[in-house]
Chain A
Amino acid sequence: MTLYEKILALYPELIEYNFVDGNIILQNDSDGKGDYIAKWEHPTLARPTQEQLDGVSE
C-alpha cells in the first residue's frame, strides 16, 4: 500500500488536485527510502501522524 493510498484511506475527501496544486506534496527522492510527506499545508485536514499511517490496514 502506497503512502498516497494510506492518506486517502484516512482522508477520503482528498482529491487528486490536493496532491498537485502544492498544499500536499508526497515525495520520493529515488534514493531507496520510499515516499514521504514533504509538505502538508491543507487548510482543514491535519497532517497524519506516522502512527495513523502505520495503523491503516492493507
Chain B
Amino acid sequence: MAYFGLQPLQSTYLTDYFSGNGSTVAFTLSRAPIAAESVLVHISGVKQHASTYGVAGTTLTFSAAPPTGTNNIEVLHLGIAPETVTLPSYRTVTEFTATAGQTTFSPASYTAGYIDVYRNGVKLGADDFTATNGTTVVLDNACTGGDLVRFESFLITSFNNAIPNTAGAVGSSLLASGSALANIGAGGVTQSYIGNNVAGTGPAFSAYPNSDTAINNAWTKINYALELFDTNSLFSSSRFTPNIAGYYQINAVTLMNAVVNQATAIYVNGNQYKRGTYDSGNSSGVSGLVYLNGTTDYAEIYVYVPGSASVAGDNRTWFDGFLVRAA
C-alpha cells in the first residue's frame, strides 16, 4: 500500500508524564498536538475536560495549577502529527462588500476550476462568472451596492514536500537545494557527490600499434592505430586528450624486436614527463600518475634506443590509462 509522507507505524500511544507542584500551570510536551482535543489529560487519575487546558505548540497550559504529585499528570497523545510533511490550508475564503455595478473582484490567488463564488449566500453557477486568470473573477451580472460576495478557492495538492511513493519523476521542487538527490541530473551524479569509495565513469582507454616503429637514437613517438577500448572516444592520433580535469594513471609497455638498451616515457603536451627504467632487454615500460587539465593537455608515449631498433607493431606493445581522481 502506498502512503504519502511517512509510512504509518503501529505502536503504543505516546504518553507524557509530569509532576505537579501546585503552582506550575505550563508543561512541555514531547510532541505538539494538533489541538487540545488531540490529547487525553488525566490528573491524579481524573480525566480533565479539554476546556480546562490548552495547547500551543508543545506547551500544555492548565487554567489552574495541578496539585503536587509525582507523575500525577498523564497526557496521552491520541495521534501524532506527521513530521517532515507540510500541511497546507485547503480552502481560502475572501469576502467583499460590492459597490453598485461592480463585476470584477480580486480574491486571493486561485487555480482556475477550483474556486466557488457566492453572492449574498447563494452559490453562483460556473456560467455566472469568469475565473480563468488566477487573480481576478468577473461576475456576469453587476452587483447591487452592499451585496456580500464570497470566494472560496481550493488548493489542488494535498501534501507539500512529500516524495510520491510511485514510479515516476520527482521534480526538483521536492528536493532540498544542495542535497545529493538534487544534484542528480540528466548527466548523472556530479563527481563531488560520488562516495569516496565509489568509482566514477571517467575516461579509460587501451590502444596498441598495427605496425613497427623504427627508433634511431631519438625519443620517438609510438603510433597506436588500434584501440582495445576507448570509453569516451578521447584517444585519437596516438594521444589521449581527456575532457575531465584530473589525475590519470598512464601505463605503457614497449616490446622491441631485438634485445637492446631502451626506455619508455610518458610525454605530456609533447614534453617528456615521466620516464621508465633504462635497461637492456626486449621490452620496457612506464607507469605513473599524470595531471591533465581536461581541455588541452594530452598524453603520449615515446621510446628511446641508443642505436637502431624497432618497436613491435602489435598488441604486445600497448598504451592505456584511466581517470583516478577528478581535480
Contact = CB atoms under 8 A, between A and B. Distances in A.
Nearest to A35: B218
Interface residues of A, number: 18
Given A25-B272, A27-B302, A39-B272, A20 B221 contact: no
Q: Which of B213, B217, B238, B306 has the most CB of A within 10 A?
A: B217
A54 interface: no
B278 interface: yes
A28 B220 contact: yes
Contacts of A27: 218-220, 302
B77 to A, nearest CB: 78
A29 interface: yes
Contacts of B261: 16
Contacts of B278: 20
Contact of A26 (B213, B218, B223, B275): B218
Contacts of B220: 27-28, 30
A40 interface: no
Interface in A1-56: 2-5, 16, 19-20, 22, 25-31, 35, 38-39
A28 B215 CA distance: 9
Contacts of B263: 20
A12 B306 CA distance: 15
Nearest to A27: B219
Contact of B219 (A2, A28, A31): A28
B218 A3 contact: yes
A35 to B, nearest CB: 4
Contact of A25 (B219, B221, B223, B306): B219
Given A16-B261, A20-B306, A30 B272 contact: no
Contacts of A29: 221, 270
A35 B214 CA distance: 12
Interface in B88-104: none
B223 A30 contact: yes
Given A3-B218, A28-B220, A35-B218, A22 B304 contact: no
A22 B306 contact: no
Contacts of B238: 30
Interface string B259-271: 0010100000011
Nearest to B272: A25
A19 B275 contact: no
Given A2-B216, A16-B261, A20-B304, A30 B222 contact: yes
Contacts of B213: 30
A16 B219 contact: no
14 contacts: A20-B263, A20-B304, A20-B306, A25-B272, A26-B219, A27-B220, A28-B220, A30-B221, A31-B221, A35-B216, A35-B218, A38-B270, A39-B271, A39-B272
Interface of A: 2-5, 16, 19-20, 22, 25-31, 35, 38-39
Given A26-B218, A29-B270, 13 more contacts: A2-B217, A3-B218, A5-B217, A16-B261, A19-B306, A20-B306, A22-B275, A28-B220, A30-B213, A30-B220, A30-B222, A38-B219, A38-B271
